Amino acid sequence: MKKYLIAATLLLGLGAAGAALADDDDCRVPMANWQPREAVQKMAEARGWTVRRIKTDDGCYEIKGRDATGREIEVKVDPATLAVVEFEYDDDDDDDDDDRDRNRNAAPTGTMKPPANGLFMPGSKPVIE
Amino acid sequence: MKALLSALALTTALTVPALAIAKPVILTTNMNRYGGDGVYLALYVTDGQGTYMGSLWMAGGKSKYYEHLSDWHRATAGNLAEINGITGASVGAGRQLKITLDLADALFDAGYELHIDAAVEDMRDSPSEVVVPLTTTGAGQPVGGRRYIRDFTYDM
């Protein structure tokens, strides 16, 4: 019983350490399960994205390019499932807090359909000032 | 085939009038001068019991920060499909976010509430900083926020 408890504690400790070290943005997929780059390209094109570059970063595929409306995007993708792990619009540079007057609200104004969640008028397009 | 067509006609006739009634609603959020980076805002709708119905807008383009919009994130598990097409940039301190949306008429005077979660890098998260019932009488009346939001108004 004691041995079992020690083993369990040890395992728990290891698990916690693993969780503490893991970064949310990382992918952990054995190389054998990686899909080829072409699959990533196809997945991006199916979503209407224009791909400029596909590289690997933190164990994920990373796509740089533009979305269907032409906005700059950077997307991390799980190499096995091709599920989106992290999505960034590159026009949202919130890392600096200076007061330069540039268009912070660069948004897909009147170009994209909202999700069909029942709240929006079907076919309507959000407008942002 | 004919049965299918008439069934389709019937369901279309039933659904279209309800959907066709919509009004442009202007959502205006004014930020405080809180002295920090751009604020991330999630605007979404719940029913009277607080059950998430759907999102209206996401201000902030990086998904890794969405967990800090904690009420929204709990309700959606951070699903990006919830905000596809309604994602804009974060809003600077002291700035204004003004969005015009064609919203279903059925959202008003039916017990629904609009929530705004707010979060700023290296500052405290502020879930449901604004919670305002969606009513025709409440339109045009500014509601104050707690931390980052100076006031919020919806106009029809």
Average pLDDT, chain B: 89
Q: With bands split at pLDDT 50, 70 and 90, how would you rate the model's confidence at B2? A: low
Residues in chain B closer than 8 A to A114 (CB atoms): 85-86, 101
Which pLDDT does position A14 carry in this prediction? 45
Q: Establish if A88 touches chain B: CB-CB under 8 angstroms.
A: yes
User: A with B: how many residue pairs have Cβ under 8 Å apart?
Assistant: 125
Cβ-Cβ contacts under 8 Å, A24 against chain B = 64
Query: Hey, is the C-beta of B47 within 8 angstroms of any chain A C-beta?
Result: no
Whether residue B63 and residue A115 make contact (CB cut-off 8 A), yes or no, is no
Q: Which residues contact A79 (CB under 8 A, 6 or more apart)?
A: A27, A29, A33, A34, A35, A56, A59, A60, A61
Check CB contact of A96 with chain B, cutoff 8 Å. Answer: yes
The structure tokens 């807090």 sit at A97
Average pLDDT of the segment spanning A77-82:
96
pLDDT greater than 80 at residue B16? no
**Which residues in B lie closer than 8 A to residue A117 (C-beta atoms)?**
53-55, 82
pLDDT (tens digit per residue) in A28-47 = 999 999 999 999 999 999 99
Cβ pair B81:A126 closer than 8 A: no
Q: When comparing pLDDT for B1 and B136, which is higher?
A: B136
Tokens of A98: 């200076």
What lies within 8 Å, CB to CB, of B54 at 6+ separation is A115, A117, A118, A119, B44, B45, B82
Taking an 8 Å cut-off on Cβ atoms, the answer to whether A97 and B64 are in contact is: no
Element (DSSP H or E) covering residue B15: helix B2-20
**Chain A CB within 8 Å of residue B63 CB:** yes
pLDDT in the model for residue A11: 47
Average pLDDT of span B65-75: 97
Amino acid at B125: D
Task: Answer yes or no: is pLDDT of A18 > 50.
Answer: no
Residue A102, pLDDT score: 46
Percent above pLDDT 70 for chain B: 87
Q: What is the Cα gyration radius of chain B?
A: 17
Strand partners, B88: B59
More confident residue, B149 or A90: B149
List pLDDT tens digits, range B125-141.
Answer: 999 999 999 999 999 99
State how far the Cα of B64 lies from the Cα of B78, in Å rounded to an integer: 9
- HEC profile of B109-156: CCCCEEEEEEECCCCCCEEEEEEEECCCCCCCCCEECCCCEEEEEEEC
**Which of A69-73, B42-46, B73-77 has the lowest average pLDDT?**
A69-73
Q: Which of B20, B99, B104 sits opposite A119 (nearest CB)?
A: B104
- Report residue A21's pLDDT band, with 50, 70 and 90 as the boundaries: very low
Measured between CA atoms, how close is A10 to chain B, in angstroms?
30
Of the two residues A50 and A9, the one the predictor is more confident about is A50
More confident: A22 or B81: B81
Q: Indicate if the pLDDT at residue B60 is higher than 90.
A: yes
CA atoms within 13 A on the CB side of B75: 23
